[in-house]
Amino acid sequence: MPQNQAALKRRTTLTLPSDSLLQAQKIADSRRVNLSTVISEVVAAGLRLESARHRRNQILEKYRTAFTGFSEDELAILDGVILEPVGAGRR
């Protein structure tokens, strides 16, 4: 049985910069929703961005680790660069 949406929420107190709170309140007023809705959406979007940034950094670090130790010529070969002049000795 799916959980009630209200049961997935928890009340907490946050300290926010006044200008951020004012901007969020303006957005809430213009959309005719409550401040909690806007803050919740902003936090969720920020967490998604942070999670994606973290995954990108992990992938980049894995690539760096995987290719550490290769020479410039080996990396060029892995990139598909042919190091010999075209037509030199190939038949």
3-state SS assignment for residue 36 = helix
pTM of the model: 0.63
* 85-to-75, 76, 78 alpha-carbon distances in Å: 18, 14, 17
Q: What is the pLDDT of residue 10?
A: 87
Q: What is the pLDDT of residue 63?
A: 87
Residues of the chain with pLDDT under 50: 1
